[in-house]
């Protein structure tokens, strides 16, 4: 699968998400989209990242930008995570890694000396025409949501 490239059309995705919805990039034309990939629901880094996006959502909305978090967890896990953290945006479930592979975020990782394949924390900013305008890979959570917001604001100026 080709790796997504900046200034090209973003890979079209369709996935089941919280709120009993199915979301497709093609349904979001006219809006900027933040698609952030995270490893696992209810883990410290993923919780902090989601809270940061939650707390900045009103500013993203002013910038005509919708936020989606995505991981491999089930809808049930996502619904629990969203409710517990009061997330004001939807989480997409990708158990078969189809969207993860489209965006090339499945990478070899290592924990306690064990190697495994998992999601590399990554964020993609897609403009209102469906073009990939910025990507962040190997994301460090601290300050990340603010950095993405600043990039989103520039799309409307």
Query: pLDDT in tens for each of the 157 residues of the chain?
Result: 668 888 899 999 999 999 999 999 999 999 999 999 999 999 999 999 999 999 999 999 999 999 999 999 999 999 999 999 999 999 999 999 999 999 999 998 887 888 988 899 999 999 999 999 999 999 999 999 999 999 999 997 6
Hey, which residues does 9 pair with through a beta bridge? 131
Give domain 22-155's CATH number out of 3.40.47.10, 3.40.30.10, 3.30.1490.100, 3.40.50.300: 3.40.30.10
Which pLDDT score is estimated for 1?
60
Residues 12 and 35 sit within 8 Å (Cβ to Cβ): no
The verdict on pTM exceeding 0.85 is yes
Instruction: Give the residue numbers marked as catalytic.
Output: 46
Residue 107, beta-bridge partner list? 118
What pLDDT is recorded for position 135? 97
- List the beta strands (DSSP E) in 42-89: 65-71
């Amino acid at each position: 699968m080709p790796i997504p490239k900046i200034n090209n059309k973003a890979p079209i995705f369709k996935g089941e998400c919280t709120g009993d919805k199915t979301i497709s990039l093609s349904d979001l034309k006219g809006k900027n989209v933040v698609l952030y990939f995270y490893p696992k629901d209810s883990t410290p880094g993923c919780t902090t990242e989601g809270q940061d996006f939650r707390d900045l959502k009103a500013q993203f909305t002013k910038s005509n930008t919708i936020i989606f978090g995505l991981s491999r967890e089930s809808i049930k896990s996502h619904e629990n995570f969203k409710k517990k953290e009061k997330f004001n945006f939807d989480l997409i479930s990708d158990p078969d890694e189809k969207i993860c592979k489209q965006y090339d975020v499945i990478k070899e990782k290592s924990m306690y000396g064990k190697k495994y394949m998992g999601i590399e924390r990554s964020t993609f900013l897609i403009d209102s025409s469906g073009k990939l305008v910025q990507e962040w890979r190997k994301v460090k959570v601290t300050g990340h949501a603010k950095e993405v917001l600043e990039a989103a604001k520039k799309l409307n100026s």
